[in-house]
Chain A
Amino acid sequence: MTARPTPLAFALGTLLVWTLFLGVLVDRAELLIAAVPIAVALLSGRQAGGLPRYGLHQELSTERLAEGDRLAATVTMTAHDALPLIEILQPLPALLELRSGCNRIALSLAAGQEACWRYELLCPARGRFSFGALQLRVWDRSGLWSAETQHKVPKQISVYPFIAPLRHVPRPLRTQSSFGNYVAPHVGEGLEPGEIRPFVPGDRVRRVNWRASLRRSQLYVTQFHEERNADIVLLLDTLSETGARPHSTLDYCVHAGAALAGAYLARKDRVGFIEYGGYLRWLKPATGHRQRESLVEALLPASVYFSYTVKQLEFLPAQELPPQALVIALSPLLDRRFIDTALNLAARGFDLMIIAVSPIEPARWALRKSRLDELACRLWAIEWRLSVEALRRRGLVIIEWQPGAPLDAVLAPFARFRPRWAARR
């Protein structure tokens, strides 16, 4: 802690010099008398000898929140020595908004006295936020000296993305070997009836189709399709982002990813995750509640990181990107490198589906309302639509999603089959 004179000390010093100088110059005692209160004020400043002893404790109402939740912070200060005037500031992480109370307070405490104050923050955006050190400024009562120090109480909160419930999710073309909710093309032990065939020794009697057998005077059995699960890999594009948080394209992609992960995991599918950007991060496909937590934790810090090199997906182990998996890419389709990767995946035979978050609306919300910006956005929308159509003609299945529209409604046409307009070959 270093005590420093404040600007007030210099201002008083300036006025004292002026008063004395002019008093001598005009040879009037009044100015010398007027200098006395200024001199007394300067002499009343007492330089702090050391940091007073205190106890400071900060408590947060929770460390795990969802977007839009409120966080209550309570700070308690106990003065072991007298604190004539102390100012405490809790710097707020970016994106958190102060809703009630104040994160900066001035206190005056006698020795042994305790003070407590509380403020509320709104957490509108997902992410991990760290509450840094509390900044303390101890003032001399006269305001002529101040000393600053920090009190480190590291606290971190996680704001999880809002997970919208989805009734309809895109249906994968290929299924896996474990039990699930999709009717597999091959027959076996299942519930969904398929074709009938003549009875052969070894068939179960309960599978005999009596109606067909009576009609054809021969035993026929009904075959059943197996119900199998699928592998889903969410491919998040973090190479580009438009708009301002918490309404950027990346935020919408993360929302969509969290919603899709929740919906597929509820259908007993194995869901994996790949973040494709400055960092290449991945999560092996798995199922269950634990995987849901892992996925949301993986989605939480997704951000655009600048890097000169972008690793290719070929480097990924096969179990991270299974060949039979449905790959759902979440992207605004702005970066050429991501588009090339998507084309590469489709060419390698992956069941690829791109949820293209329109970058126009987030950019429009971030811009000020002017006719020029509006015109630019309209031109950009036309250009973006043309690029999407061009990619569709190259065989990519692209689902356009305008931010603000419900994702469930956008995905509904893909729940049973792939509409032809999604990919024009």
Chain B
Amino acid sequence: MMRQAAIIPIAVLVGLPVWVAPSLPVILIGAVASLFCAAGVLRLWLPSVTVGGSLAVINYALALSLSVGAVDIVGAAIFGLALVFLLDLSEFARRFRSVEIAAAVHRTQVVFWFGRAAVAIVAVALLSLGAAVLAYVIPVLGRPVIAGLGAAIAFAGAMRGGIVRGGPNEP
């Protein structure tokens, strides 16, 4: 069931760049990406799905660079969610192949995924709104400072994550 459901995110990942910029290179890269994704889902091989997803991201970047439209927040959020769902579905199918899965597992897992997608949508909305407010409030010269601050916070977070991981759960 999970493998069949993975068709939807693959279609989104291939279709969205073509919809943004319908050109031959985009269609070709999309076809290759879909082949990798489909092969990974069918063979339950996560690296193939990751390669397919990476190609889809490259394809989306190419399509965006070829197009000259306004920022499509909804399309971008759907693309990101499709990537996450594709990996989740294929990995779930891989993890639990030939496993008897209790009905509660399916139910709670789907609820978790949709809850997380809702959180992601809210995060996209808040970040977009915050970005718009910052763009309005902060002058052009102050934006690199904000970007540097964000980079520093990200670096500190990564450092903390690395230190905490080496803590109580290590054997």
Contacts and interface: CB of A to CB of B under 8 A. Distances in A.
Interface of A: 1-3, 6-8, 11-12, 14-15, 18-19, 22-23, 25-26, 28-31, 33-41, 44, 47-50, 84-85, 87, 101-102, 104-109, 115, 117, 139, 141-143, 147
A8 B112 contact: no
Contact of A36 (B58, B72, B96, B127): B127
10 nearest A-B pairs in the assembled complex, by CB-CB distance: A34-B80, A102-B100, A37-B80, A30-B76, A37-B120, A33-B76, A22-B61, A40-B120, A11-B50, A28-B64
Q: Which DSSP category, helix, strand, loop or mixed, fits chain B's interface?
A: helix
Given A37-B77, A104-B98, 18 more contacts: A11-B53, A18-B58, A19-B80, A25-B61, A28-B71, A29-B76, A30-B64, A33-B127, A34-B80, A36-B77, A36-B124, A37-B120, A38-B80, A50-B168, A102-B100, A104-B99, A106-B99, A143-B88
Nearest to A3: B169
Nearest to A8: B91
Nearest to B96: A106
B51 to A, nearest CB: 9
B1 interface: no
B21 to A, nearest CB: 12
Interface in B72-112: 72-73, 75-77, 79-81, 83-84, 87-88, 91-92, 95-96, 98-102, 104-105, 108-109, 112
A15 B105 CA distance: 27
Nearest to B40: A11
Interface size class of B (residues with CB under 8 A): 35 or more
B2 to A, nearest CB: 12
A115 B124 CA distance: 39
B171 interface: yes
B169 A33 contact: no
A31 B96 contact: no
B60 A31 contact: yes
A8 B91 CA distance: 7
Contact of B88 (A8, A22, A29): A8
Contacts of B109: 85, 108, 141
B65 A87 contact: no
B57 interface: yes
22 contacts: A3-B169, A8-B46, A19-B83, A22-B58, A29-B131, A30-B60, A30-B72, A30-B73, A33-B124, A34-B76, A34-B79, A35-B80, A37-B84, A38-B80, A49-B168, A85-B105, A101-B100, A106-B101, A107-B105, A143-B91, A143-B92, A143-B95
A33 B80 contact: yes
Contacts of B96: 87, 106
Contacts of B128: 33
B61 A31 contact: yes
Contacts of A141: 108-109, 112
Contact of A22 (B57, B80, B117, B171): B57
Contacts, number: 162
B116 A108 contact: no
B79 A139 contact: no
Contacts of A8: 46, 87-88, 91
B123 interface: yes
A30 B74 CA distance: 9
A18 B168 contact: no
B100 A106 contact: yes
Contacts of B101: 105-106
Nearest to A141: B112
A3 B166 CA distance: 11
Contact of B54 (A6, A18, A143): A18
B158 to A, nearest CB: 11
Contacts of A84: 108
Nearest to B128: A33
A425 B134 CA distance: 109
**Which one of B54, B57, B72 has the greatest number of beta carbons of chain A within 10 Å?**
B57
B160 interface: no
B152 interface: no
**Which one of B47, B76, B109 has the greatest number of beta carbons of chain A within 10 Å?**
B76
A148 B165 CA distance: 17
Nearest to A28: B64
B83 A34 contact: yes
A2 B102 CA distance: 25
**Which one of A3, A35, A106, A107 has the greatest number of beta carbons of chain B within 10 Å?**
A106
B124 A37 contact: yes
A354 B76 CA distance: 81
Contacts of B95: 87, 139, 143
Contacts of B170: 2
B54 A15 contact: yes
A40 B124 CA distance: 10
B41 interface: no
